[in-house]
Amino acid sequence: MRSYFEQAAVEVQLEYDRIRRRTVEDPGTAGDEGEENWAEILRRWLPGDLNITTKGRVLCADGNATDQVDVAAFTSSYPRAMLTKKMHLASEALVLLECKTTLKVEHIRNSVKRAARAKSMIYNTHGIEIIYGLVAHAHSWKSPRNKVIERVSHELSQANALYVNHPNDQLDFLCIANFGMWTSKTKWDPEMWGEGPASYYSAPRRENQQLPKGMADAPPIGRMISYMLSRLSLREEKYRGLSMYFLMAQMESGGGSYLTKDVRHWHNINDKTRKIIRTLV
């Protein structure tokens, strides 16, 4: 499994190198090609009955719509007539992705803001939790690995404090194909955090940070797919076996620690009003 996703990462890197050569003369086409790369990864690795499409907004039954997203996955019952449209039905949404070829600070801030709006809107209208992620082929920073991890973690934390009003409305993950993945975690542990849940982003493994004996880093794309399968299995029981296989194959291994200063405490959240499901380890 690890070798399959390492191969996928090589393919993404080759696509990034090719796309980047044409970005200056035609940034629109370059962006479209990058989105198609990620859509193809979802088509290959998520359950085959899902419907994957690119470019569009998600429309709630009350008439409100999300900002445009780059890639979206919908249930197997999604009407095929709607796949070619650019306004999609919120009740069937499972995964929404924003895609960047080269990740920058402003991408993180804008995606956290749009994710909070979309997730809150869809939940309030349809009572469902969607997965919202930000993916990139590469990043723009020249700093050492640990500095990049701290920079991205801090930007996620700052944007979260500005735009997110409920832990379930956080950006669920950020995946840089050639670097690592950040995953939103919510814990409810009164002894450690006090009343109410606490949330943070589990970052990629830092340099010189040791993994448990017998474990190896899973490629970022593998971790991303495993995370999505875990979340999808909470909504659809038929995906549980596949999700468990990925977990047993250690496709979520390689996550690093988090910075204590970036932990957010939610003392005023009532667990009876909305179920907290971000407790996947």
pLDDT at 281: 36
Please state, for a pLDDT cut of 70, what percent of the chain lies above it: 89
Q: Nearest-CA neighbor of 42 among 34, 33, 51?
A: 51
Is the pLDDT assigned to residue 273 strictly greater than 90? no
Distance CA 161, CA 146 (A): 23
Nearest 5°: the CA angle 44, 74, 115 is 100
Per DSSP, 272 falls in state T
pLDDT in tens, 201-215: 999 988 877 766 766
3-state secondary structure of 63: coil
Is the pLDDT assigned to residue 278 strictly greater than 80? no
Query: Binning pLDDT at 50, 70 and 90, where does residue 52 land?
Result: very high
Distance CA 204, CA 142 (A): 17
pLDDT at 279: 43
Please give the model's pTM, rounded to 2 decimal places.
0.91
Contact 228, 211 (CB under 8 A): no
pLDDT at 178: 87
pLDDT in tens, 121-171: 999 999 999 999 999 999 999 999 999 999 999 999 999 999 999 999 999
Q: Which residue has the higher pLDDT, 44 or 275?
A: 44
Contact 98, 111 (CB under 8 A): yes
Query: Binning pLDDT at 50, 70 and 90, where does residue 71 land?
Result: very high
Q: Which residue has the higher pLDDT, 31 or 248?
A: 248
pLDDT in tens, 168-189: 999 999 999 989 999 998 888 7
Is the pLDDT assigned to residue 218 strictly greater than 90? no
